[in-house]
Amino acid sequence: MLRYILKRLLIAVPLIFGVLTLTFFIIRLAPGDPAAFFIQPGISPNVAEQIRQQYGLNDPLPVQYVKWLGNVLHGDFGRSFSRAQQPVIEVIAEALPVTMTIAVLTLVANFAFGIIIGVISAVKQNSFLDRFLTVTALFFYSMPEFWLALMMIILFALKWPLFPVSGLNEIGAESYGAFGFVMDRIWHLALPVTVLSINGSAGIARYVRGSMLEVIRQDYVRTARAKGLSERVVILKHALRNALLPVVTLMGSSLPFIFSGALFIEVIFAFPGMGRVTVEAIFARDYPLIIANTFVSGTMIVFGNLLADVLYAVVDPRIKL
């Protein structure tokens, strides 16, 4: 397995590199100009040109590429155009923890609720409870997140003001002390994490239900029941473990989400996370920041897939890598 992992990692290097190169050229060939902001009446026509000069955008494309390549190989992703020349690594370092907090909480909630609901509806297949859960899950699964988020704000922040509307912390939260600060943060995270996990766990529940139904019909489950094992042991020990195999791989593919952020939620709840950084970078044609973000999410996708494959082999002894 170690050899397999090593091999995959070695392949990943040129892959990510290729993605970055492609991104480099695509964003430069796309219409739009990072200095476009400075093209407006009242600003000297020379400013946009000077800004382009500063950003190194006046060099021919191949020269820009070679320079960029040299820097990236030294681990320097450059400075952001749109965020006051902050090094892009710093921009990402500020945004990543925010995104990760939301994502990890969401993932835990997703899987916990998803598995519970999925198992219930599988075990009580075709009962009222199953139908109710299935319809509800489908209802939430097909609901756009941004809309759900706005509805939640209207309900739980405006109509019944239980939760704050936006931001990571209340103004002046620094003065609450460590415990108060964390509680305040959780209070602020409640709505967005709920929105994200309602949607996500609905999907996972459908997944678990399907795979559980398949497993429950297997011979070894019947054998287990025939042995006189209690239903609890049959479902939770024999069936669930096998039913979770495909679900485990979902965890691997959720990894990129942890790092790339949930754009709509970040914009609506005014969280300065990765999703917002990426989209704002794209609208501002902030080339260095776009590339660095591509690097982060590209790397995570590669690792996520690798993790999914390895997890598969770990939980299912029949699979050899």
Q: Which residues bind another protein (CB under 8 A)?
A: 31-33, 36-47, 50-51, 53-54, 79, 82-85, 94-95, 112-113, 116, 119-120, 123, 150, 153-154, 157-158, 161-168, 170-173, 176, 180, 183-184, 186-187, 190, 230-232, 235-236, 267-270, 272, 276, 283, 285
Dist CA 56 CA 72 (whole Å): 15
Least Å from the CB of residue 257 to another protein: 20
Nearer to another protein, 167 or 210 (CB): 167
Nearer to another protein, 86 or 253 (CB): 86
Nearer to another protein, 66 or 151 (CB): 151
Dist CA 319 CA 132 (whole Å): 36
Least Å from the CB of residue 23 to another protein: 17
Least Å from the CB of residue 69 to another protein: 22
Nearer to another protein, 69 or 157 (CB): 157
Beta bridge partners of 111: none
Least Å from the CB of residue 122 to another protein: 11
Nearer to another protein, 44 or 142 (CB): 44
Contacts of 269 (CB under 8 A, 6+ apart): 149, 165, 166, 167, 188, 191, 192
Instruction: Locate 266 and state its tokens.
Output: 């970040």
Rg from Cα positions in the chain:
24
Nearer to another protein, 113 or 257 (CB): 113
Q: Which of 260, 252, 289, 247 is nearest to 87 (CA)?
A: 289
Q: Which of 253, 236, 233, 240 is nearest to 312 (CA)?
A: 253
Beta bridge partners of 87: 79
Least Å from the CB of residue 2 to another protein: 38
For the chain, counts of helices (H) and of strands (E) = 14, 0
Least Å from the CB of residue 314 to another protein: 25
DSSP 3-state assignment of 79?
strand
Nearer to another protein, 15 or 267 (CB): 267
- DSSP letter at 234 equals I
Dist CA 24 CA 20 (whole Å): 6
Least Å from the CB of residue 271 to another protein: 8
